[in-house]
Amino acid sequence: MRQTKLFLFIFAAIGLVLAACSKDELKVKTSQVGVALTNPAGLTNPQITDIAVEFKEVNSGVESKFNLRSAAELSNLTLPEGSYNVNLEGTVTFGADNDRQTSKIRGYKQGIIISGGEVKLNIPLFLYNVASKFVFQEIFFTGTVTKEGKQYNGDKYFVIYNNSEDTLYADGLVISEAQFLTTTKRNYIPNIMGEAFTAGSIVMIPGTGKQYPILPGKGFTIANNAINHLEYNSNSFDLTSAEFELTLVGSINVDNPNVPDLINLNGNMTMHNRGFKTYVIARFPQNMTIDAYKAANYYEYKYLNSAGDTTKQNAYKIPNAWIMDAVNLSVETNYEWILTDPSLDMGWSYCGKVDSDKTRYGKAVRRKELLTNPDGRVVLKDNNNSTLDFDPEVTAKYLIKQ
């Protein structure tokens, strides 16, 4: 009897010790994080409220969200150790005491390492406003595939949407495809991404200024070739109803006489069909001619490649201030970076999960609907974050049987 009690006592002791040990091993290491915010330049007496900040751990995908009322509360957060991307949304009031303005602000930072007990970080903020503008509603860049499995690409298109409550004019609207690739990150010198977008091909909608009105809540299509593609590929569709057509000088320049042609400023807008590029909509300042634009916005850059050689190239740039909307595109397996300043677009969308994904043909990226007004006008979601604003891999609208 004494032996049994002894054994029970020992077992209990061991059990306690073991329980205590394992509890220690399971405890996750955290760090104290102090977040400071850098306000956008030029604001008098800014006050930041209604802050929603989200920390996403890159390796595990775990998200830690905090909703705070003021910037002061950001100075003492607790987070598990790891490597994070931070996303911040909030409201800012600024201006003179008798004339306070309110605006939305955004902040974004990538690749933050949290470890070692105490971390201090600084997130730069930028003003974000839902102004009157055109946005990309749908980008169809993959083209279609014939029943024999051959690529067909005359049927690519953009759909651009008037997301405001006023009638806007499409005359002079500029659409551009990026010069670089979202799948090849390079250290370009100079790196102008904070001020301007490096453009590859640039096209412009013609018009005197008031020739092409677009009503609020309505969109228009710019097709590569506005023809009935079913004559060439039974898996394609009819684009004769497109409002505009690209002039593919130097490529297959098919002209539908019933559809106005866009003007080419630079390059050949054939649209990268694996989706490794970024597209922007911009408007040049009033009265700026194409030649004046080119003269003022040419620049040369260089980079060091993997063989140790320096390459020098040239391109045109579009200042960020002129850009209305930007959409980054990439694929998961090859993504390396976005080609725009985060204030223009901090995310990216896709068709296809891998490079040359065979299932990508006939699919497009389409902007989500945010809400429908009582008068029936649909407002599309536009938070300058294509990861959240777009539905990836949707069937191209012309392929959907009505």
Partner 1 sequence: MPTFTHAQQQASKAVLSGRIISMDNTSRPDSVLVFAKKDSVQYRAFSNAEGVFSFGAIPVGTYKLSITSMFFKTAPRTIHLHKDVLVEMPVQSNQRTLQEVFITASESKGMTSTSVIDRRAMQHLQPSSFTDLLELLPGGRAKDPVLTSMNQIRLRETGYDSRSYDISSLGTAFVVDGATINTSANLQNSENYFVTDPNASRFSVNKGVDMRSISTDQIEKVTIIRGIPSVEYGEVTSGVVNIERKSGASPFSARMKADGFSKLFYLGKGFNIGTKGWTLNTDIGYMKAKSDPRNDFNTYNRINTSVRLDRKWVANGRSNTWRNSLDYNTTIDNQRVDPDNGYAPVDKYTSNSNSFQVNTQFSTKAINHKAFWQGLDLGFNASYTKDKIDATKWIQAKSAEILINSMEPGEHDAKYVTPSYASHLLVDGQPFNAAFRINTTLGFDALAVRHEVKVGMESRYSKNFGKGQVYDLDFPTSTTISARPRAFDTIPGMFNQSFFIEDKISTYIGKSKLTTAIGVRGMALLGMDSKYTIANKIYIDPRINAKLALPKMDVGNKILKMEVGAGYGYATKMPTLDQLYPNFKYFDLVQANFYHNNPGMRKANAVTYIVNNTNYDLRPATNKKFEINVDFEIDHHRLSISYFKEKMNTGFRESSQYLALGYKQYLIDTTKLNGQAPVLSEHPYVDRKRYYTYSFDTNGSTLNKEGVEFQYTSKRFAGINTRFTLNGAYFISIYSNSMPYYGLIPSSVITNGDTYQYIGMYEGNNGQVRESFNTNLTIDSYLPNLGLTVSTSIQNIWFTAQKNERKNGVPVMFAGIDEQWLPYTEKYLTDPDLKFLTILYTESDFQRKTVPIDLQMNMKITKEFKKKASISMFVNRLFTYRPDYVRNGIKVLRSGYVTPYFGMELNFNF
Q: Which residues bind partner 1 (CB under 8 A)?
A: 146, 148-155, 200-201, 224-225, 227-229, 231-233, 240, 249-250, 252-258, 263-268, 291, 294-295, 298, 300, 302, 304-314, 356
Please, is 207 exposed, middle or buried when counting C-beta atoms within 10 Å of its C-beta (0-12, 13-18, 19+)?
middle
CB of 228 to partner 1, least distance (A): 7
Nearer to partner 1, 153 or 343 (CB): 153
CB of 281 to partner 1, least distance (A): 20
Q: Which residues, other chains included, contact 159 with Cβ-Cβ below 8 Å and sequence gap of 6+?
A: 136, 137, 138, 139, 140, 219, 220, 221, 222, 397
CB of 263 to partner 1, least distance (A): 7
Residue showing tokens 């004494």 = 2
CB of 191 to partner 1, least distance (A): 17
223: phi then psi, degrees, rounded to nearest 5: -100, 150
Tokens of residue 231, six digits: 């004559």
CB of 364 to partner 1, least distance (A): 18
Please, is 368 exposed, middle or buried when counting C-beta atoms within 10 Å of its C-beta (0-12, 13-18, 19+)?
exposed
Nearer to partner 1, 35 or 269 (CB): 269
Nearer to partner 1, 92 or 226 (CB): 226
Nearer to partner 1, 174 or 380 (CB): 174
Q: Are 153 and 224 in contact (CB under 8 A)?
A: yes
Alpha helices in 27-130 (DSSP H): none
Q: Are 246 and 275 in contact (CB under 8 A)?
A: no
Nearer to partner 1, 137 or 233 (CB): 233
CB of 40 to partner 1, least distance (A): 34
Nearer to partner 1, 151 or 191 (CB): 151
